[in-house]
């Protein structure tokens, strides 16, 4: 399988594509990944021929046969303007080959109690609910699927708030947060349970076991 990630720093923090590939390798799953990212990038910029991101991703995309293309938007834009996000998804879909499978990296609410979250004027639950709905609508518009990373963050906050999923900035993922995302992505594209995925050195064995269990529950209980 081949997966191309298009996104921003939420994708390149802790190198989500590389971590997903490494988990696949250790599980005996044939997986190749690549990514085109830029800090703060919006999805619509990838569809804009005047933006350098357009030529970068198109060159990589046209150079191989990808089974999945992953769309990830700026961290607050899906909440702020869901209609524009949906349109960006439609514009990107029009640039793909017929039958291409699209996955959405459904991201999370900013950390509960953080200055980053306070700056939005929203509570944690409201931001997460709106983020989830926006990604779901964008995915539905292009017959894609949302990988529920943000919802998994919410479950972790409810069940295991002692595990730090965030970078100190209250926005980007910690290694544990990226591992949770990698488990969900690999489970989605491979059909394997996260319970059997390896735990990277940056995550403790105890925390990794919990993260795998929550990822496994999400893949079984949440339509993606």
| Cβ contacts of 112 within 8 Å, gap of 6 or more | 124, 157
Q: What percent of the chain has pLDDT over 90?
A: 96
Q: How far apart are CA 158 and CA 139, in angstroms?
A: 26
DSSP state of 194: G
Q: What is the pLDDT of residues 46-94, one digit of tens each?
A: 999 999 999 999 999 999 999 999 999 999 999 999 999 999 999 999 9
Beta-bridge partner residues of 68: 3, 101
pLDDT band of residue 99 (cuts 50, 70, 90) is confident
88-103 average pLDDT score: 95
What domains, with CATH codes, occur in the chain?
Answer: 2-221 (3.40.50.1110)
**Sign of the Cα pseudo-torsion (136, 137, 143, 144, in order):** negative
Residue 74 backbone zone (phi > 0: left; psi -120 to 50: alpha; other: beta): beta
Q: What is the pLDDT of residues 144-194, one digit of tens each?
A: 999 999 999 999 999 999 999 999 999 999 999 999 999 999 999 999 999
pLDDT of residue 77: 98
Q: How far apart are CA 174 and CA 180, in angstroms?
A: 10
| Cβ contacts of 170 within 8 Å, gap of 6 or more | 110, 111, 114, 115, 116, 117
Could you write out the DSSP letters of every residue in 79-96?
A: HH-HHHHHHHHHHHHTTS
Q: Please, are residues 128 and 150 in contact by the beta-carbon 8 Å criterion?
A: yes
């Amino acid at each position: 399988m081949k997966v191309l990630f298009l996104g921003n720093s939420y994708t390149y923090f802790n190198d989500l594509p590389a971590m997903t590939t490494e988990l696949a390798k250790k599980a005996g799953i044939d997986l190749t990944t690549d990514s085109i990212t830029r800090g703060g990038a919006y999805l619509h910029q990838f569809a804009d021929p005047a933006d350098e991101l357009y030529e970068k991703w198109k060159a990589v995309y046209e150079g191989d046969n990808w089974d999945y293309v992953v769309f990830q938007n700026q961290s607050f834009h899906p909440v702020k303007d869901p209609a524009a996000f949906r349109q960006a998804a439609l514009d990107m879909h029009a640039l793909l080959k017929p039958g291409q499978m699209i996955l959405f990296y459904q991201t999370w609410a900013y950390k509960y109690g953080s200055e980053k979250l306070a700056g939005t004027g929203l509570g944690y639950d409201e931001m997460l609910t709106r983020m989830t709905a926006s990604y779901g609508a964008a995915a539905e518009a292009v017959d894609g699927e949302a990988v529920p990373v943000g919802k998994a963050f919410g479950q972790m906050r409810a069940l295991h708030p002692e595990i730090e999923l965030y970078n100190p900035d209250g926005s980007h993922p910690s290694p544990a947060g990226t591992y949770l995302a990698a488990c969900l992505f690999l489970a989605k594209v491979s059909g394997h349970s996260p319970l059997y995925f390896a735990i990277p050195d940056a995550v403790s064995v105890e925390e990794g076991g919990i993260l795998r269990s929550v990822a496994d529950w999400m893949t079984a209980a949440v339509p993606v």
